[in-house]
Each structure stands twice: as C-alpha cells, then as structure tokens.
Chain A
C-alpha cells in the first residue's frame, strides 16, 4: 500500500508521518511537494501537521489553494483515502472536504499534551482495527483546534456516524474537563459522509511506538492498511 505525505511550506510533522509509514507500518511512502499538480499511484494521502504558510489569514486557508490540493480533492472525490492531522485537518475543512471549522482554543493557550480519545465509530477505514472500548492515548499540539459546527450540521454528523473521535478521560468518559480546546461536544476528529476522508487534531503519527509514550496512534494506520488489503482481496 503506497502512502503520500503532502509537504506544504511550513509543514513540520511530515517527517513524523513519513517515519510512521516507513518504519512503523513498513509500507512504501513518498513525499509530495505542494507544487505537484499531478499525483498518481497513491493509495492514501496524509496531510501532516505544522503551520502551512505561517497560518496567515486563517490556519489552512492559503494551503488549500496550493497546486497539489486540486489533485487531493479529486483523489478524495474518487473515494481515495485521505487523512489530515492537525494543520492537515484545518486544510481539509478549509478545502470543504470536511464539515465545520477550526479556530482559537477557548483557553487561548497553545495546548501540547496527551489526550484520551473515545472512538465513536469503528466502521470506518481509519478505525476498524481498533479494539472495542479501547481509549486511545494520543497527543495534541495546537492553538487553533476548537472545532465548530452549526447545530444543523452537527445533527447530520451524528446521524451519519461522522464523528469519529471525542476527547475523553483515560476511562473513556466524555466530560467538559477532558475537552482541551472548547470543541463542540468534545469532537477531536470527523469524517466525510463517505468515510474516506478523516480529519483529526491529535497526532497519531507521534504515538506509534511504546518508546514515544503510546503506540495507540499506530492503530489508525493499521486500520487503513487492513481496509486497503480487504478491498483488494
């Protein structure tokens, strides 16, 4: 299964994502510079974290018009797997591939800490290999990860099972205290309706090995690989 890691000017988790795929998941992976207009031969695209274009105007607002994004949007519309992490999530909402918006944390602080995630839908390419009831320990590092969605769209997300992760306690309880950034209903990650595009603020690529404090992030990439293998067999 071949992965592509899109690199924007200002991306800074591209190496972590590359390491996760190459060394932890042990699958082929290539970087894709933001100026590439044609991308071919990839099975999953990763939009990594960072500060693309210095977060000017709004996080992700300028990156979404990078030449590579037209191909990313086409790839996603054809059902290709896309995962946006942190700044990658911000780019996906700005590009309209995912609903809602991400803005300033209510605490006004940059939050860099471990979070615990409750998995809300196991029936997606990104979550199917996660053991049931397992609460994922995955870190966040962002100042603008406050997920907003209007009440009507929120109902749609619930109805379609598009809410994938919520911030929770270590025991898996979704509480206001476990919400690090003010996100509506503790939302940490959402999918599109078709479930082939995932955006999440926590960084699974930084939590793929026990030496990093948690290997839970690897489960998301293992899920992607299993899904892909399932599609081929």
Chain B
C-alpha cells in the first residue's frame, strides 16, 4: 500500500492570520529571529494501490476536487510505502 503525506498551505498571496498571530506570540516569547510563520494542514491518505504513477494521479485529482481549495491553497505531497 502507499500512503500519501499531503501538506496544505495557504498560497503566498493569501494572508495567513493564524500564522501572523503565532509569529507575534513567538516574538513576545523572546524569539526575535523569527522571519515568518505559516500554518497549514497535514493529511495522510492511505491507498490500496501499488502503482506509484496511478497513486500520484489519484492524489492530485483528490486534492483538486476535495482535499484542497485551489483558490486559496497550495499543496505538496509524498508517497511512502506502508505495510498492510
């Protein structure tokens, strides 16, 4: 089986209010070298699939249709082998 490890982040052009709040919070804790914080989502999707190309195509399709909103979000993913 293959597991897709999908990371979803707001696009660079979209303001991330949560990231900004955390950035300020880190700064108030004394971490003055923080340049930028972005907060996103991490999804794991396990597929009963052995063919990597097929799995990759399916993950892209699922991201486009449901898992992400292409208007405001970007995503990256990796496929890793997992035991049944």
Question: Contact residues of A with B, CB < 8 Å?
Answer: 57-58, 61-62, 65, 93-94, 100-101, 103-108, 146, 148-150, 182
Contacts of A101 in B (CB 8 A): 69, 71-72
Helix, strand, loop or mixed for chain A's interface?
Answer: loop
The answer to whether B15 has its CB under 8 Å from any CB of chain A is yes
Q: Are A105 and B17 in contact (CB under 8 A)?
A: yes
Choose from A62, A103, A106 the contact partner of B72 (Cβ within 8 Å). Answer: A103
Q: Are B71 and A100 in contact (CB under 8 A)?
A: yes
Question: Contact residues of B with A, CB < 8 Å?
Answer: 10, 13-15, 17-18, 21, 66-67, 69, 71-72
Contacts of A93 in B (CB 8 A): 71
Contacts of B66 in A (CB 8 A): 57, 61-62, 65
Q: Are B15 and A182 in contact (CB under 8 A)?
A: yes
| Contact flag A150-B13 (CB < 8 Å), given A104-B18, A108-B18, A108-B21 | yes
Contacts of A105 in B (CB 8 A): 17
Contacts of A57 in B (CB 8 A): 66-67
Choose from B14, B17, B71 the contact partner of A107 (Cβ within 8 Å). Answer: B17
Whole-angstrom distance between the Cβ of A202 and the nearest chain B Cβ: 20
Output the residue of B17, B21, B71 with the most chain A CB within 10 A.
B71
